[in-house]
Structure 1
Amino acid sequence: MEGYSSYFQSSTAAGNGNQWGYDTFKNFRHFSPIVQSHLQKVYLTLCFALVASAAGSYLHILLNIGGLLTTLACLGCMTWLLSISPHEERKRTGLLMAAAVFEGASIGPLVQLAVAVDPSILVSAFVGCAIAFGCFSAAAMLARRQEYLWLGALCSSGLSMLFWLQIASSLFGGLTSTFKFELYFGLLVFVGYIVFDTQMIIEKAHQGDLDHVKHALTLFTDFIAVFVRILIILLKNSTEKEEERKKKRRN
């Protein structure tokens, strides 16, 4: 309830003239140099992880290595990374890059399908994901501290709902409408996680937690989750349009 009340209070404040815009940019400038430096490291590490993930997808296209084994290897690297002391920065960074490569190989079949259907779909999905990620991250940074942390409870509930829906679909068979709901609702959930995780990283940095590798891993998983769903949506729309064109030609 406190999270909802703070949200409505901030919304009311936003409607009073230009105070919201001034305060938000003022808040951004008031990040301490340590927090600003930490965020720079986090996003730089995230960029390298995304490049490594792209390399993993390319390796799958060349060698067909993506599958269950790469998924398990990715989870293993993430678990290993989280179990190591933050002082072993070089080793943990290497594990993050390895996890990113394996993750890229795991989504390689989807990427390969997009390239086979229309390469522009892959570019559109990445650009759209990057724009969404940048906008929602910026919104979290410019907002007041802890303003959107209440999203964590909603996103966790949404993720739990998706989990049980997938189990039900696997047991009883999934309908097309259920798949669409999971796709779009999942996209909404992970967009919410971008906002929540960004503010959580900022709050932890203020409290002295400067583990930029772990924080980059958190944002990396959010980015990939959003990218995969946007890519599936674009592929699905492209396939439906192609089927409609074929029907028109036959008629």
Structure 2
Amino acid sequence: MFRVGFVSSVRPLASPSVAQAARFPQTTAFRYFSNLRPNVIATTQKRFSRFTSFRTFLTDSSPVVVRPTQAQAWKRYGVTAATVAGTIIVVNAFFNRETRESLSPAEQSYLHESFMYAGGGLGITALVARSMFKNGFAFRVMSANPWVVLGVSLVGSIGTMMGVMYTPPENTILKHAFWLGFNACQAATLSPLFFFSPAILSRAALYSAGVFGSLSYIGATAANDKYLYMGGPLLAGVTVVALSSLAPMALPLGMRGLAVTEAISLYGGLAVFGGFILFDTQKILQHARMAERGTVPRDPMREAISLELDMINIFIRLVQILARQQNKK
């Protein structure tokens, strides 16, 4: 499945005709492989085993918690909000020097519906993941064999994702059922993230929203088809990111090799999926124009899958980066 998914994804994106390339949704199928983060599961397993090893000490001794004052908390929130706003302004000024004319009503409607489905799917994923964590599902996931978790996640997520993409929009009930199933599979994969500190998760969510919002705005207001050429390079990049994510599970790497693959997966993944936000936003606008002419069916739910995967991959990497920074302190 891995090789078939890769070949079928490379073919449309490497095509010289970008307009034809945007018709094929297979890119998302391969992009999911980098969303499966065995390093996250391994990290949370290590944290939980360390916690259970010292549970006697934790229960017999009163915890020492240093809580910031209200003024310090508001100061942190202000600095974080200013950082996000400044990043949006700088990125917009750098990438969006040439803007396009205003969006047509068809483009606005299609883009709005796609982002509504993406936002709704992310909300469902977060709520279901939190519920699974409270019910102990996350602990059972960490206790299982990582390869079993990887295989089940691949089968469930890719199967439901393909169901969303290839079910006709007229079959509303079945298409929404596949969409809910896809978000449930994503929630099951992401539920172990709740073992991290809530402060880390909230900061990562805020940073992810800032990155996603700024880049999608740039993609929507940039000149027509300005970023559609990035399809081929982005697919090559996500291939490298996916292989670097799976390498520690398959290859006997040393400490330096592990550090290199982790850096490629984290920081390279941020760059690749940031580029995918630009690409997917302009692909949605192109599909809106094509749907208006009647050459492709109007299917905003299919477009939302790509946006959800971009956001989830960025969020996962920001959680890991913030957790590493906290551990160094």
Q: Per the alignment, do residues 167 and 51 of structure 1 end up closer, same or farther by CA in structure 2, a change over 3 Å counting?
A: closer
Q: Per the alignment, do residues 99 and 202 of structure 1 end up closer, same or farther by CA in structure 2, a change over 3 Å counting?
A: same
1:221 and 2:309 are equivalent in the alignment:
yes
Amino acid at match of 1:132: V
Q: Which residue of 2 aligns with 1:113?
A: 195
Residue 59 of structure 1 deviates from its aligned partner by: 2.0
Assess if the C-alpha contact under 8 Å between 1:60 and 1:108 holds in 2. yes
Q: Which moved more, 1:72-81 or 1:48-57?
A: 72-81
Assess if the C-alpha contact under 8 Å between 2:242 and 2:265 holds in 1. no
Amino acid at match of 2:227: Y
Distance 2:305 2:201 in 1: 23
Residue 168 of structure 1 deviates from its aligned partner by: 4.1
Q: Which residue of 2 aligns with 1:61?
A: 133
For 1:85, what is the secondary structure of its paired residue? coil
Q: Which residue of 2 aligns with 1:135?
A: 214
Q: TM-score, normalised by structure 2?
A: 0.61
Assess if the C-alpha contact under 8 Å between 1:77 and 1:98 holds in 2. yes
Q: Which residue of 2 aligns with 1:35?
A: 107
Assess if the C-alpha contact under 8 Å between 1:55 and 1:101 holds in 2. no
- Which 4+ residue blocks in structure 1 deviate beyond 4 angstroms? none
1:172 and 2:252 are equivalent in the alignment:
yes
Q: TM-score, normalised by structure 1?
A: 0.79
Distance 1:172 1:219 in 2: 34
Q: Per the alignment, do residues 212 and 219 of structure 1 end up closer, same or farther by CA in structure 2, a change over 3 Å counting?
A: same
For 2:169, what is the secondary structure of its paired residue? coil
Assess if the C-alpha contact under 8 Å between 2:128 and 2:187 holds in 1. yes
1:97 and 2:169 are equivalent in the alignment:
no
User: Which fold has the larger relative contact order, with Cα–Cα distance below 8 Å and residues 6 or more apart in sequence?
Assistant: 2
Number of equivalent positions: 216
Q: Deviations over 1:133-186 (max 9, x none)?
A: 000000001101100112112211111222333454421324223312321001
Q: Deviations over 1:182-227 (max 9, x none)?
A: 2100111011111111111111111114210100111111111111
Unmatched segments (≥5 aa) in structure 2:
1-15, 18-95, 142-148
Q: Which residue of 2 aligns with 1:126?
A: 205
1:232 and 2:314 are equivalent in the alignment:
no
Pick from 268, 280, 288 the counterpart of residue 205 of structure 1. 288
Distance 1:125 1:186 in 2: 15
Distance 1:233 1:34 in 2: 39
Q: Percent identity?
A: 26
Distance 1:227 1:167 in 2: 19
Q: Per the alignment, do residues 196 and 79 of structure 1 end up closer, same or farther by CA in structure 2, a change over 3 Å counting?
A: same
Q: Which moved more, 1:42-51 or 1:62-71?
A: 62-71
Assess if the C-alpha contact under 8 Å between 1:56 and 1:103 holds in 2. no
